[in-house]
């Protein structure tokens, strides 16, 4: 066999493999996107829940359920957790 014929056969074979595997590669990308979207949605929900906890702690202090000292400690902890969630959210969004 001539080398040119061999190269043509190899090129056609590569084209067929690329054509046949394209839908499979697309599904893998879609799956990764879906997992990323799920992670972002979960982090958004966690962020909103943490913000709600911060607001609730503020309300508890105003209504006298928490002392200012207890509120400061709780607020510091909740805000640190919120920062971690925001960092994870930034990382997930890339």
Per-residue pLDDT of the chain (94 residues; tens, 9 = 90+): 688 887 888 888 888 887 777 776 666 555 656 578 889 999 999 999 999 999 999 999 999 999 999 999 999 999 999 999 999 999 988 8
Which letter, b or e, does each residue of 31-56 get, where b requires 16 or more Cβ atoms within 10 Å of its Cβ? eeeeeeeeeeeebeebbeebeebeee
pTM over 0.85: no
**3-state secondary structure (DSSP) of residue 64:** coil
**Cα distances (angstroms) measured from residue 14 to each of 5, 11, 26, 29, 79:** 14, 5, 18, 21, 54
> How many other C-beta atoms can be found within 10 angstroms of the C-beta atom of residue 57?
21
């Amino acid at each position: 066999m001539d080398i040119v014929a061999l190269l043509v056969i190899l090129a056609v074979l590569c084209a067929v493999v690329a054509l046949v595997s394209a839908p499979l590669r697309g599904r893998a990308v879609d799956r990764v996107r879906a997992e990323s979207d799920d992670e972002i949605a979960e982090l958004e929900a966690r962020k909103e829940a943490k913000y709600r906890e911060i607001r609730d702690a503020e309300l508890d202090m105003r209504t006298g359920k928490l002392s200012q000292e207890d509120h400061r400690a709780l607020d510091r902890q909740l805000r640190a957790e919120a920062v971690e969630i925001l960092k994870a959210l930034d990382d997930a969004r890339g």
